[in-house]
Homo-oligomer: A and B are copies of this chain.
Amino acid sequence: MPNIVEEFNDYRERMNSNILSDNNKVIKRIFNLDTNAFQSGVLDVRTKELLGLVASTVLRCDDCIKYHLETCYNEGLKKEEVVEALSIATLVGGTIVIPHLRRAYEFWDALEDQG
């Protein structure tokens, strides 16, 4: 069975390297900002990751959802906390979000499976 976590990470890393080696300044600085914005500030990293997850979910981007699910998982957030954030996203974003919820659950399970 293909591991959807590895597959996602491999493609993401490979293409991000490709993009960054291309040296477009605006894009490079956006990537940089992305790293900085999610670091600990007056809000802690866990809260920020949940904010990133909800933003990604209401905007319905599977790859962004996967990325934030993985960082949430690595930060030690519990499934109940992540699901509560996803429930708010589904309420605000509507039932159009549900297909992404299905893939989010599948990805979270895969994260737990690989330990």
Please list the residues of chain A having a beta carbon within 8 angstroms of any beta carbon in chain B: 11-12, 15-16, 18-19, 22, 24-27, 29-31, 33-34, 36-38, 41-43, 47-48, 50-52, 54-56, 58-64, 78-81, 83-99, 101-103, 105-106, 109
Contact = CB atoms under 8 A, between A and B. Distances in A.
B64 A96 contact: yes
13 contacts: A15-B106, A26-B37, A27-B83, A29-B29, A37-B91, A54-B54, A54-B55, A58-B96, A59-B96, A61-B96, A63-B102, A64-B92, A93-B96
Given A42-B78, A43-B50, A102-B12, A22 B83 contact: yes
Contacts of A26: 33, 36-37, 87-88, 90-91
